[in-house]
Chain A
Amino acid sequence: EAGVVQSPRYKIIEKKQPVAFWCNPISGHNTLYWYRQNLGQGPELLIRYENEEAVDDSQLPKDRFSAERLKGVDSTLKIQPAELGDSAVYLCASSLAGGGADTQYFGPGTRLTVL
């Protein structure tokens, strides 16, 4: 069974440029998560989707970050404009359902460098 797929794996941009990350979750997983992982830290949740609905976006910096999950499968996370402090690894995860009962499985992440 295929795992969580993310692209691109690496992205280098200059500050003020836009950037987008794509995620395809494990087939049949209704819940999708976007995390940001800063160097030397554990991942921190940005947004969680239950099917097409964003049920927790309290940690998403809405002035520059946006996300969508059309049709309840693939998802895209966008940053516009990017700032130096956005350099991090952006991880996508999925689980069968939300809440704590289901294990979250992670993709390989996108390493973003903002110059």
Chain B
Amino acid sequence: AQKVTQAQTEISVVEKEDVTLDCVYETRDTTYYLFWYKQPPSGELVFLIRRNSFDEQNEISGRYSWNFQKSTSSFNFTITASQVVDSAVYFCALISHSGYSTLTFGKGTMLLVSP
């Protein structure tokens, strides 16, 4: 069975602060993929990043960075110098390589960035 836990329900920060969103996952599979999606108030889920289980390199994309650690089963997401436009619900998700697997989402973390 797969499980994704996002323990932070809601985070509030002031613009320009750095913020880290936590994601802890559980799976018995050795080959799997992890994702982060952003859901702004408009409702559409926007794909941000995908990592496979064999690639533990951290990744940086502009103000976004991701820290994947298999030893702690975590895939955390950091936004540097947050902006009001970053306000959204962020979902972490997991799927195994098996064709029978489904994409399992966490409950999401709502990020509120105030001016």
Interfacial residues, chain A to chain B (CB-CB below 8 A) = 33, 40-45, 48, 56, 89, 91, 93, 98-101, 103-109, 111
Interface of A is mostly: loop
Q: Are B103 and A104 in contact (CB under 8 A)?
A: yes
Across the interface, name the chain B residue whose C-beta is closest to A106.
B45
Listed in ascending order, the chain B residues whose CB lies under 8 Å from chain A are 4, 31-33, 35, 37, 42-47, 50, 91, 93, 95-103, 105-108
Closest to B45 in A: A106
Q: What's the Cα separation between A101 and B32 when bound, in Å?
A: 8
Which of B32, B44, B46, B105 is A100 in contact with, Cβ under 8 Å? B32
Tell me whether A99 and B106 are in contact in the complex, defined as CB-CB below 8 angstroms, given that A91-B45, A108-B42, A108-B43 are known contacts: no
Q: Is the CB of A105 within 8 A of B47?
A: yes
Bound CA span A41–B6, Å: 11
Is A41 in contact with B107, judged by CB distance below 8 angstroms? yes
Beyond known contacts A42-B106, A99-B97, A105-B47: 10 more, CB 8 A cutoff = A33-B103, A42-B108, A43-B45, A43-B91, A91-B45, A93-B45, A98-B99, A101-B33, A107-B44, A108-B42
